[in-house]
């Protein structure tokens, strides 16, 4: 009886933790372990929360992917960050592919648009980027995991649009 009461208390703690912040299975497992939850309870708690759909690594990966794509992160960086959080690669790939499908975009189009968005925001004052700004922009794009070919395409796209707007 005492053990049942104990596991119920840990389930409530896990639910409270999930209600304040969405987490992956690994993050919740680590959190419960850190707080002293007995190991024999953790699997049962994780299974029950997964069955209740309170804990869903795919849903987490999909929401994380949407948020990070909108911030300019590349597929590879999103995948790496999700892997650190314990999300299997196949789930992060499914989430990214679902985003592409829903927005009817290819990965190349998304990355080119992201790079263009970052370039455009850095040149918000109008005109061309200075050499210093270009170097800063390239570092930022690389930090977000973008590959050189997409960056080059976006820079050319930005310069072409700037040239056209100056003609008009």
pLDDT at 165 over 60: no
My answer on whether 79 and 116 are in the same domain is: no
pLDDT score recorded for residue 98: 93
Q: What is the pLDDT of residues 34-76, one digit of tens each?
A: 999 998 899 999 999 999 999 999 999 999 999 998 888 888 8
Same domain flag for 123 and 144: yes
Q: Do 79 and 96 sit in the same domain of this protein?
A: yes
Nearest Cα neighbor of 148 from 76, 65, 94 is 76
Q: Output the CA–CA distances (angstroms, integers) from residue 105 to 18, 101, 113, 156, in the order listed.
A: 32, 7, 10, 20
Measured distance CA(33)–CA(39) in Å, rounded: 7
CA 82 to chain centre: 7
What is the distance between the alpha carbons of residues 168 and 45, in angstroms, rounded to a whole number?
63
Per-residue pLDDT reduced to its tens digit, 136-159: 777 777 777 777 777 777 777 666
Domain count, the chain: 2
Judging by beta carbons within 10 Å of its beta carbon (0-12, 13-18, 19+), is residue 73 exposed, middle or buried?
buried
Range of the domain at 147: 108-167
pLDDT tens digits, 80-123? 999 999 999 999 999 999 998 988 888 777 777 777 777 777 66
pLDDT at 124: 61
Look at residue 25 in the predicted model and tell me its pLDDT.
94
Same-domain check for residues 116 and 130: yes
Of the candidate ranges 3-12, 36-45, 64-73, 124-133, the one whose mean pLDDT is the lowest: 124-133
What does pTM read for this prediction? Answer: 0.72
* 135 and 90 housed in the same domain: no
Q: How high is the pLDDT of residue 162?
A: 58
Higher pLDDT pick, 133 / 28: 28
The per-type count for the chain, helices as H runs and strands as E runs, is: 9, 0
Confidence of residue 1 (pLDDT cuts 50, 70, 90): very low
Q: What string of DSSP letters covers 73-142?
A: --HHHHHHHHHHTT--HHHHHHHHHHHHHHHT--HHHHHHHHHHHHHHHHTTTSSPPPHHHHHHHHHHHH
Does residue 120 sit in the same domain as residue 146? yes
Secondary structure letter of residue 143 according to DSSP: H
If asked whether residues 100 and 68 sit together in one domain, one would say yes
State the pLDDT at residue 79: 92
141 shares a domain with 115: yes
């Amino acid at each position: 009886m005492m053990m049942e009461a104990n596991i119920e208390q840990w389930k409530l703690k896990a639910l409270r933790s999930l209600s304040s912040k969405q987490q992956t299975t690994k993050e919740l497992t680590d959190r419960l372990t850190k707080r002293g939850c007995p190991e024999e309870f953790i699997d049962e708690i994780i299974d029950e929360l997964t069955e209740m759909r309170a804990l869903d690594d795919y849903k987490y990966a999909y929401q994380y992917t949407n948020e990070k794509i909108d911030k300019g992160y590349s597929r590879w960086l999103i995948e790496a960050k999700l892997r650190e959080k314990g999300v299997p690669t196949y789930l992060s790939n499914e989430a990214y592919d679902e985003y592409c499908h829903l927005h009817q975009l290819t990965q190349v189009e998304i990355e080119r648009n992201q790079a263009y968005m970052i370039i455009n925001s850095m040149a918000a004052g109008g005109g061309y980027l200075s050499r210093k700004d270009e170097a800063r922009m390239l570092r930022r794009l690389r930090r977000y995991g973008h590959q050189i070919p997409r960056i080059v395409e976006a820079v050319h796209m930005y310069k072409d649009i700037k040239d056209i707007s100056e003609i008009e």
